[in-house]
Amino acid sequence: MSQVINSLLVLLVLTGFTLLGSSRLAACIRAVGFQGLLLGLLAILMQDGKLSAAGVLLPLTTAVVKGILLPWLLFRAMREADTVREVEPLITYNVSIIAGTAALALTLWLGQRLQLPSEPPSSLLVPAALFTSLAGIIVIVSRRKALTQVLGYLALENGIYAFGTTVALRLPVLVELGILLDVFVGVFVMGIAIFHISREFDHIDTDKLVALSDVG
Amino acid sequence: MVAGSFLPLIVALALAPLMQGVIIRTKSVVAGRQGQPLTQPYWDLWKLLHKGAVYSQTTSWIFQLGPVVWLVSLLLALTLIPFGGFPALSSFSGDFIVVAYLMALGRFSTVLAALDTGSSFEGMGASREVTFSALAEPALLLSFAALARQTERISLSPVLTAISWSAWAHSAPTFSLTLAALLIVLLAENARIPVDDPTTHLELTMIHEVMVLDHSGPDFAMIQYGSALKMWLFAAIIIGVAPPWHRGGPWAETAVSLAGMMVFAIATGLVESSMARLRLLRVPQLLLVAIVLSALAVAL
């Protein structure tokens, strides 16, 4: 069982690297969606056979929302904004991957140092979760397109969720559903915002928005 | 130093050109042609050995030394590679570092020979070869490190024999990551698509072939044979790491590994038929991915 969990965590890390190294938005959206599916599976496997109705349904809902619904929304936003790839990131993809490797080293070190209330089922869980968050942060600060930044935000959230499965196996159902609804609404609103930005300015480059003013 | 078996070396020397033949034949069949006979690489070597070598007046002894050092360093590296159920001819602690550096020595000699011709075209190829291999080397060494750490042995023969079903069941992620990294390194080091196209000549994007343009006759035969051996060497390591399907005795294991090598050659041919070469600027990214995969394998 721990081998399955380990393999899933390795896949989680690899999707993080896909997000960092790919210039195609479609590949990035698929990577983040795949993360969502992985997280759902992980949350079910973590329960160690003691399955309850809520314990299965909640991760399944997460997987469906994060793995299917959100990618669908983002693909729609991508079509409407008429962008296929991130053209000129602030730091190149190779540098992003190197930064990701540094982040991975940092999180592996942190994973050994961090004192947790309960022993995680795999020593890789904390590093993988923190790495996913860090990858999301790197994407948010280093990309120009609004859509890629939304993907970074989602990866950040996925990392927090993965971390949550270690320290809080028994989060109240209401809280989990609330978080899920927040993320869903957030991405929904961001999709609409991206559509409006692209219709108004013919692009979704966020660094050009600093020049926004009423004059001119 | 432990005495091993001559068998891995003999098999490699005898069958390395056949592997090239299988790759070329696969590509022909996929392209809808009948293709050359499987033994054609042997006949090519035979033909080249019976020709005279032509040396440009601008070259020095370095140019003539290049192919010899290339072939000898690969032969030496092959004595350290086990195959099937048989251990390598010699093995000692840390021999995989020697393997990596013997291959670097061979490459260094071909690069020097290419620079010695004074041709700007060959100099360009040499510069590319060195750039990409500098990126492939960390991935190779990190993969070896991951294998050594996982099996707790520091010599290639024991490492590869220690990889069993139970080892795979215990740490499948590590082995699959290493396998993926080694596969990318193989494609890059052997000038295969998607990194380089071994069939192109006189193209501005080629890497390995451009360096050996000025070699002829027996020198070129040595280069060709050395390339075949290098491909065999990497493939043998990959087959050694791959999930072991064999259980009965060293001979059965060798037979299965040989079949694995041929399947691997066919798979390489299929990859070459179905993929386009990457843009030169994208190659470092591919190698970076290999480094990340192997680093992750070490960290696990």
Domain count along chain B? 1
A101–B295 C-beta distance less than 8 A: yes
C-alpha closest to that of B291 among B142, B173, B175, B161: B142
Residue A87, pLDDT > 80, answer: no
- Residue B7 domain-assigned? no
Chain A residues with CB inside 8 Å of B299's CB?
A: 104-105, 108
**B26: helix, coil or strand?**
helix
State what percent of residues in chain A have pLDDT above 90.
27
Residue B119, pLDDT > 90, answer: no
Residue B72, pLDDT > 90, answer: yes
Interface list for chain A against chain B, based on CB atoms closer than 8 Å: 3, 6-7, 10, 13-14, 17, 21, 93-94, 97-98, 100-101, 104-105, 108, 124
Per-residue confidence (pLDDT) for residue A170, from 0 to 100: 63
Q: Which of A69-83, A93-107, A185-199, B159-173 has the highest mean pLDDT?
A: A93-107
- Residue B9 domain-assigned? no
Residue B227, pLDDT > 90, answer: yes
Average pLDDT, chain A: 84
Nearest-10 Cα torsion for B157, B161, B167, B168: 90
Q: What is the distance between the alpha carbons of residues B233 and B266, in angstroms, rounded to a whole number?
A: 16
Determine whether A81 is exposed, middle or buried from the number of CB atoms within 10 Å of its CB (0-12, 13-18, 19+).
Answer: buried
Q: What is the distance between the alpha carbons of residues A213 and B9, in angstroms, rounded to a whole number?
A: 74
Summarised one tens digit per residue, pLDDT across range B10-31 is: 999 999 999 999 999 999 999 9
Per-residue confidence (pLDDT) for residue B166, from 0 to 100: 81
Give residue for tokens 């470092």.
Answer: B284
Summarised one tens digit per residue, pLDDT across range B256-282 is: 889 999 999 999 999 988 888 888 888
pTM: 0.87
Per-residue confidence (pLDDT) for residue B202, from 0 to 100: 59
The mean pLDDT value for B72-98 works out to 90
Residue B68, pLDDT > 90, answer: yes
Q: Which residues of A89-126 are buried (b: 16+ CB within 10 A; e: fewer)?
A: beeebbebbbbbbebbeebbeebeeeeeeeebbbebbb
Cβ atoms A46, A165 nearer than 8 A? yes
The mean pLDDT value for A133-158 works out to 90
- Residue B1 domain-assigned? no
Q: Which residues of A148-158 are buried (b: 16+ CB within 10 A; e: fewer)?
A: bbbbbbbbbbb
Q: Give the E-state strand segments of A80-209 in sequence order.
A: none
Summarised one tens digit per residue, pLDDT across range B165-193 is: 888 888 888 899 999 999 999 999 888 88
Show the domain range for B159. 19-299
Interface list for chain B against chain A, based on CB atoms closer than 8 Å: 169-173, 177, 284-285, 288-289, 291-293, 295-296, 299-300
Cβ atoms B115, B65 nearer than 8 A? no
**A1, A6, A9, A10, best to mutate vs chain B, most B CBs in 10 Å:** A10
The mean pLDDT value for B247-261 works out to 83
Residue in A closest to B289 by C-alpha: A97
| Largest interatomic CA distance in chain A | 63
Residue B104, pLDDT > 80, answer: yes
Residue A166, pLDDT > 80, answer: no
Q: What is the distance between the alpha carbons of residues B212 and A50, in angstroms, rounded to a whole number?
A: 64
